[in-house]
Amino acid sequence: MDGDVAVGVKRGSDELNMYSSSPSSMTANGSDSKKQRLDESPPSRVLHIRKLPNEVTETEVIALGLPFGKVTNILMLKGKNQAFLELGTEEAAITMVNYYTAVTPQVRNTPVFIQYSNHKELKTDSALNQRAQAVLQAVSAVQDGSSPSSDPGVLELAPPPSPVLRIIIDNMFYPVTLDVLQQIFSKFGTVMKIITFTKNNQFQALLQFSDPVNAQQAKLSLDGQNIYNSCCTLRIDFSKLVNLNVKYNNDKSRDYTRPDLPTGDGDSANKDHSLLGTPSGALASYSSGGSYSSSLSLSQGGGAISPLSAAAAAAAAAGRVALSGSGVSGVLLASNLNEEMVTPQSLFTLFGVYGDVQRVKILYNKKDSALIQLSDGNQAQLAMSHLNGQKVFGKVMRVTLSKHQTVALPREGLDDQLLTKDFAGSPLHRFKKPGSKNFQNIFPPSATLHLSNIREGVGEEDLRLLFSNSGGVVKAFKFFQDRKMALIQMSSVEEAIQALMDLHNYDMGGNHHLKVSFSKSTI
């Protein structure tokens, strides 16, 4: 067994008083009576989990941490309904706590509480519990891409049969796109190809990883999880196919290894049905950008390895919080801002990439902090997960959920410093229109920006100059074919954030206002 993975279970009245819930532990959940101030306990890669259900298994506890990185140790205090989970890095633990600040973690439909431990690492006697040791070693082996130990009594994982997963989505109340699947599954390895289709009135997909071990890890983490709260449940099995043949890159299918593929004739949706009756085990030939059937019978047990209320795994894998939003305020607190530079307008533009900002208030007595009210809790969580920790105006911005439900407007004539602004009627809201394409183009801050609505006659040099004037260095530029859109790459993410705040909605004349957003592409 790897030296860096140790597991133990300790029972009885002497259960590590040093591990007991101390007043200085930071809680990651909203409704716990022991919730402490966020800044009282320093982050640690060891997390203390409390109020676990009686019959909880090691696998379920490990599953809470699995989407965020390698789990290196676990200690179950079964008599106290508590556990300690050690992650491979402090960053992974911080991501996990931040995520569960917004979405209450659940095990077996019971809310549990997660906080930083005062200890920097777990020291446990791995001989105390063979089962816990076996579970963690098996999971660790999948994460590392090695095969588990063949010691007697240790859980064996069968070698993954295929790099291709067959994904069925149940309770699809919200649309799930090919890009959403790519974001979720790419946390576990390189996604090479995806084909989506509808069969028996169910949305399905075939997704090919570069390595079967990645497919196994994704299946282990995501099977039975919900993409969005209480709906869009992932049912995952291995496909009998070992390679997908993609002919077109469009919204139904994608080969990420071949960006040169044509988009097809655009009429693929009507042609899917010819392939849907393929007998089990037969390989359908793939055609016209849409459908493929591996016709596998999928076990309906759907036992998620971690029955969370919202798919922590899926959301963390996508690098963002699941759209649970229920009972979560739409108001964010941004702190550690550069008070010399920040304005309500700049925050409206930046946070507006992830939701429709209604109001912004820079705090009168603490001008390095601001309240930002978005349309709902979903948008607030999305903005928080993408913007917390980003460098803005030279300082690392902190973004948390505020206890306020709304941002109050000052009485008329009292806001002489113009610290509060109401944007409720702004024409610049990106997500006003239901089903807008902007919903599909939400990406984390990146050095590459996507420009659209470029006025005719405006050339590369004009745009390079414009973006250089916002204080950054333009590293690369590329027009799309119609020259109404382009990609521009700045030398850092911070410069790109600055350029977006300065130049989104820039008036190019002739009623053309430049649209700027973050891109997932590089030039």
Quick: pLDDT tens for 326-338. 456 799 999 999 9
C-alpha to C-alpha distances, 136 to 74, 130, 432, 438, nearest whole angstrom = 8, 10, 46, 41
- pLDDT, one tens digit per residue, over 24-45 is 344 555 444 444 444 457 899 9
Place of tokens 């890159």: 249
Pick 522 or 317 by higher pLDDT. Answer: 522
Which tops the pLDDT comparison, 381 or 497? Answer: 497
Mean pLDDT of 391-404: 93
Task: Name the more confident of 158 and 457.
Answer: 457
Report phi then psi at 470, rounded to 5.
Answer: -85, 5
Q: What is the mean pLDDT of the chain?
A: 76
Say if residue 372's pLDDT is above 90. yes
Q: What is the pTM of this model?
A: 0.44
Alpha-carbon distance values, 83 to 114, 115, 122, 155, 436 (Å): 10, 11, 11, 21, 44
Average pLDDT over every residue of 184-206? 88
Instruction: Write down the pLDDT at residue 135.
Output: 72
Alpha carbons 287 and 268: distance in angstroms, whole number? 8
pLDDT of 314 reads 41
Listed range (135-149, 164-178, 194-208, 390-404) with the worst mean pLDDT:
135-149
Rounded Cα distance, 110 and 49, in Å: 13
Quote the pLDDT of residue 126: 56
Least confident of 268-272, 381-385, 492-496: 268-272
Per-residue pLDDT tens for 258-301? 888 898 754 333 333 222 222 222 222 222 222 222 222 222 22
Q: Which domains does the chain have, with CATH numbers?
A: 46-138 (3.30.70.330), 164-255 (3.30.70.330), 328-439 (3.30.70.330), 443-522 (3.30.70.330)
Average pLDDT rounded to a whole number, residues 409-432: 85
Task: Decide which of 10 and 125 is more confident.
Answer: 125
pLDDT in tens, 219-228: 888 888 888 7
Q: Alpha-carbon torsion 88, 91, 97, 100, what sign?
A: negative
Structure confidence at residue 390 as a pLDDT band (50, 70, 90): very high
Q: What is the pLDDT of residue 186?
A: 87
**pLDDT recorded at residue 204:** 92
- What share of the chain has pLDDT > 90, as a percent? 37
Residue 308 CA to residue 313 CA, distance in Å, equals 9
User: Over the stretch 50-81, which tens digit does the pLDDT of each residue have?
Assistant: 999 988 888 788 888 877 778 888 888 888 99
13 has pLDDT over 60:
no
Q: What per-residue confidence (pLDDT) applies to 343?
A: 96
| Sequence-separated (6 or more) residues with CB below 8 Å from residue 243 | 164, 208
Residue 429 has pLDDT above 80, yes or no: yes
